[in-house]
Amino acid sequence: MTQNKETEHQISVMVVDDHDVVRQGVKLFLDLQPDITVVAEASSGKQAIEQAQETLPDVVLMDLIMPEMTGVEATRFIRDLCPNTQVIVLTSYHTDEHIFPAVQAGALSYLLKDVDAEELADAVRKAHRHEAVLHPKVAERVIQELEGTRLDQASPYQLLSERELQVLKLVAKGKANAEIAEQLFVSIKTVRAHVSNILSKLHLKDRTQVAVFAWQKGMVDGDG
């Protein structure tokens, strides 16, 4: 096995997860593969960025929910700083608010932690060839989104709650969170939560896109 590792081209991998047992289990299995070597580990998004710059791995296995910095944020930084490094999300979550931010951040593949060990190794090899692998549940949502079924067939009035619609319209009018909170008699923290929900449900990146979306849909009247 060691001889093969020395003679064959190695796919270098970094494993990122805040649970030691998960990291060690994944590392142990991948290191048994003749063409894969784990060159780094990280227990947080911040550490992952540092290790990626230092080791320049071919592939990163990225958890999403971690302390200090999320896997989505870490993925975005790593893809910017190490453009030749491919990121595979390896998580327990497969809801829209996790899938789409990860894909938008630059993740190539998205797998759940119940993945078969051999399938994980295969996904690493495919990522090295720039081939994406998506868990079936994730693939279904991505396909639906690409086909435009989420927003084209369902109106924002169906997707958002009444309060979220109010917040969306105020954001589109350029109101700051404090102004929205004062107008709706809620806390700024509540407004932030509503804005986060709006971004997630409509798959938008920031407040500017929220405003553009609202105006394009004719949801905002002209009076301030």
H helix runs in 106-185, sequence order:
117-128, 136-146, 156-159, 162-172, 177-184
Averaged pLDDT score across all residues of the chain: 88
78 near 49, Cβ under 8 Å? yes
| pLDDT of amino acid 151 | 52
Lookup: tokens for 52 = 């990626």
| pLDDT of amino acid 2 | 42
Residue 149 CA to residue 22 CA, distance in Å, equals 36
- Please, which residues have CB within 8 angstroms of residue 34's CB and are 6 or more apart in sequence? 1, 4, 5, 8
Top CATH class of 153-216 equals mainly alpha
57-97 tens-digit pLDDT: 999 999 999 988 999 999 999 999 999 999 999 999 988 88
Please report which helix (H) or strand (E) contains residue 1, including its range.
Answer: none
Q: Report the candidate in 43, 26, 42, 31 with the shortest Cα–Cα distance to residue 4.
A: 31
Give yes or no for residue 147 having a pLDDT over 60. Answer: no
**What fold characterizes domain 2-146?**
Rossmann fold (3.40.50)
The residue assigned the tokens 């590792």 is 5
164-182 tens-digit pLDDT: 999 999 998 889 999 999 9
Q: Report the candidate in 109, 110, 102 with the shortest Cα–Cα distance to residue 130.
A: 109
The residue assigned the tokens 């990522």 is 127
Between the alpha carbon of residue 25 and those of residues 93, 114, 143, 208, the distances in Å are: 19, 13, 32, 42
Domain ranges of the chain: 2-146, 153-216
pTM assigned to the model: 0.66
